[in-house]
């Protein structure tokens, strides 16, 4: 069990924190959290063996955790100034910084500042409560900040569509937008972005999405295509692999022969050079890959995501599909995040809705696939469930029989 220890000065937050933790418990969004009180002036959060603290509006505090600035008096600092301060201080979190048209929430990420922006800030105490509850539930900081703004915006609309009586924000209308190069107000706000603005990517064919094997050799791609697989991905982890380019050419030829959707993981330069169907990239690639070149070459783009903020950031670039993961523990790839689980997956699917196809990935086998499919995702990515099957064709056939979208489940089930 995790714990959230509040100082007496934050007693008013309890009326907001408890319903949020109850909703999280109902939807099984994390470990159970106990709320305690202390005479300290800091908020203390313990998750398993990890403990950190948080203070509000005490920039001079010396703590191991986060210093949140969220009460502002005019004249307000310039956004570019705050961006630089947060980039230089990993402990600094800025919430609700007023701008001419709305407010910005900012946090530190790997030496830079990231932010979300919206025109309507919402209520301040619910915002604080969700920030603390989400951190105690072990959401990463970027998701806790993003969720807290969505909850603040939805609090006064607790019976509105997309919020209902769940006490948990679900639809995108409530969420702020990440400040990226593709945001139409980024220049007006004075936010400096490492990404480059890019037009929407070519759509993938949703009719060919369902089973999506991710394999590590061109031989496997060819074998699966001959078994009737219509979407697959080549993921070779070693960029120094001497046959890399030859394998990329091989899968492109095979994809064209079978009229299949074959994606290249990571190696976007080779994908462009040989005119692949599509390329799959991670979040870190959004700042380093030449997205304009990929888009102008007519390639499809799939993007990996691992939570609320990354999903919303991916949406800004209008990819061909959004991958959601990792859902269950997996040994095929080292992951910086924890498994998301089915209930968080269901909420992520609601957040995306029908705007983009979605691919669930990570530790999915045939026994787990049905529950994953019921969340409403467009596709299920598998690795070992196919490549290590005793009978590969039988495994492919079993997945294909299962991954059929019936009318009564096409919108996905609620998290439960």
Same-domain check for residues 127 and 226: no
Residue at 329 is within a domain: yes
Annotated binding site for Mg(2+): 266, 285
Residue 311 placed within a domain: yes
Report field, pTM of the whole predicted structure over 0.85: yes
Residue 185 belongs to a domain: no
Task: Give the mean model confidence (pLDDT) for residues 37-61.
Answer: 94
Mean pLDDT of 125-129: 97
pLDDT in tens, 259-276: 999 999 999 999 999 999
Of 163, 178, 193, which one is at a domain's C-terminal end? 178
CATH of the domain at 265: 3.20.20.70
What's the average model confidence in pLDDT over 27-47? 94
Structure tokens at 186: 């980024």
Identify whether 229 is part of a domain. Answer: yes
Looking at the structure, tell me whether residues 161 and 224 fall in a common domain. no
Do 256 and 377 belong together in one domain? Answer: yes
pLDDT given for residue 284 in this prediction = 94
Which H, E and C letters describe 293-355, residue by residue? HHHHCCCEEEEEECCHHHHHHHHHCCCCEEEEECCCCCCCCCCCCCCCHHHHHHHHHHHHCCC
Does one domain contain both 166 and 290?
no
- Considering the domain architecture, whether residues 395 and 289 belong to the same structural domain is answered as yes
- Pick the closest to residue 312 from 194, 191, 145 (CA basis): 145
Per the structure, the complete domain to which residue 157 belongs is given by 2-178
pLDDT of residue 416: 37
- Does residue 193 lie within any of the structural domains? no
What is the pLDDT confidence band of residue 412, given thresholds at 50, 70 and 90? very low
**Mean pLDDT of all residues in 340-349:** 96
Do 169 and 239 lie in a common domain?
Answer: no
Do 268 and 335 lie in a common domain?
A: yes
| Dihedral angle sign, alpha carbons of residues 218, 220, 223, 226 | negative
355 and 235 within one domain: yes
Last residue of a domain, one of 133, 158, 178: 178
- State how beta strands 300-305 and 278-281 pair: parallel
What mean pLDDT, rounded, does the chain reach?
93
408 in any annotated domain:
no
Q: What are phi and psi of 153, to 5 degrees?
A: -75, -30
Residue 344 inside a domain? The answer is: yes
131-166: per-residue pLDDT in tens? 999 999 999 999 999 999 999 999 877 645 545 556
Peptide bond into 75 cis (omega under 30): yes
Q: At what angle do helices 308-316 and 341-352 cross, to 10 degrees?
A: 30
- Residue 149: inside a domain, yes or no? yes
Query: Are residues 296 and 219 both part of a single domain?
Result: yes
Tell me, yes or no, whether 285 and 336 share the same domain.
yes
pLDDT band at 187 (very low <50, low <70, confident <90, very high): very high
DSSP readout, 231-291?
EEEE----TT-TTHHHHHHHHHHHHHHHT-EEEEES-HHHHHHTT-SEEEE-GGGGGTS-H
Q: How far apart are CA 344 and CA 24, in angstroms?
A: 10
pLDDT band at 330 (very low <50, low <70, confident <90, very high): confident
Main-chain phi, psi angles of 53, to 5 degrees: -120, 165
- Mean per-residue pLDDT for 56-76? 95
Residues making up the annotated binding site are 233-237, 265-266, 285, 304, 330-333, 363
What domain count does the chain have? 2
Whether residues 79 and 221 fall in one domain: no
Q: What is the distance, to the nearest Å, from the Cα of residue 363 to the centroid of all Cα atoms in its chain?
A: 17
pLDDT at 46 exceeding the cut of 90: yes
> Are residues 123 and 230 located together in one domain of the fold?
no
């Amino acid at each position: 069990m995790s714990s959230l220890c509040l100082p007496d000065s934050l007693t008013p937050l309890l009326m907001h924190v408890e319903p949020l933790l109850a909703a999280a418990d109902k939807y099984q969004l994390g470990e159970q959290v106990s709320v305690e009180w202390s005479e300290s002036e800091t908020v203390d959060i313990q998750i398993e063996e990890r403990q950190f603290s948080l203070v509000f509006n005490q920039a001079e505090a010396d703590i191991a955790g986060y210093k949140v600035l969220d009460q502002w008096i005019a004249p307000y600092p310039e956004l570019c100034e705050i961006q630089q301060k947060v980039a230089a201080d990993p402990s600094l979190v800025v919430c609700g910084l007023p701008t001419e048209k709305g407010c910005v929430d900012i946090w530190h990420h790997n030496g830079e500042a990231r932010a979300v922006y919206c025109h309507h800030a919402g209520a301040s105490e619910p915002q604080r409560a969700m920030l603390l509850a989400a951190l105690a539930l072990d959401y990463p900081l970027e998701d806790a900040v993003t969720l807290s703004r969505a909850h603040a915006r939805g609090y006064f609309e607790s019976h509105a569509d997309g919020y209902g009586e769940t006490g948990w924000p679900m639809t995108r209308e409530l969420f702020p937008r990440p400040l990226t190069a593709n945001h139409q107000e980024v220049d007006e706000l004075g936010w400096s972005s490492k990404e480059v603005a890019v037009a929407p990517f070519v759509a993938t064919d949703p009719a060919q999405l369902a089973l999506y094997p991710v394999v590590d050799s061109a031989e496997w791609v060819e074998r699966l295509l001959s078994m009737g697989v219509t979407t697959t991905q080549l993921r070779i982890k070693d960029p120094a692999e001497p046959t890399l380019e030859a394998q990329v050419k091989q899968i492109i030829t095979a994809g064209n022969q079978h009229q299949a959707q074959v994606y290249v993981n990571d190696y976007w330069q080779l994908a462009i050079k040989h005119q692949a169907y599509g390329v799959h990239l991670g979040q870190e690639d959004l700042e380093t890959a030449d997205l304009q070149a990929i888009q102008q070459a007519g390639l499809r783009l799939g993007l990996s995501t691992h939570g609320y903020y990354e999903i919303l950031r991916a949406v800004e670039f209008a990819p061909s599909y959004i991958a959601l993961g990792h859902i269950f523990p997996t040994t095929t790839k080292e992951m910086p995040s924890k498994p998301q689980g089915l209930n968080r997956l269901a909420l992520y699917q609601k957040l995306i809705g029908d705007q983009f196809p979605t691919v669930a990935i990570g530790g999915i086998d045939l026994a787990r696939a049905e529950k994953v499919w019921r969340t409403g995702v467009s596709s299920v990515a598998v690795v070992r469930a196919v490549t290590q099957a005793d009978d590969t064709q039988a495994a492919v056939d079993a997945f294909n029989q299962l991954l059929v979208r019936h009318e009564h489940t096409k919108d996905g089930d609620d998290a439960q």
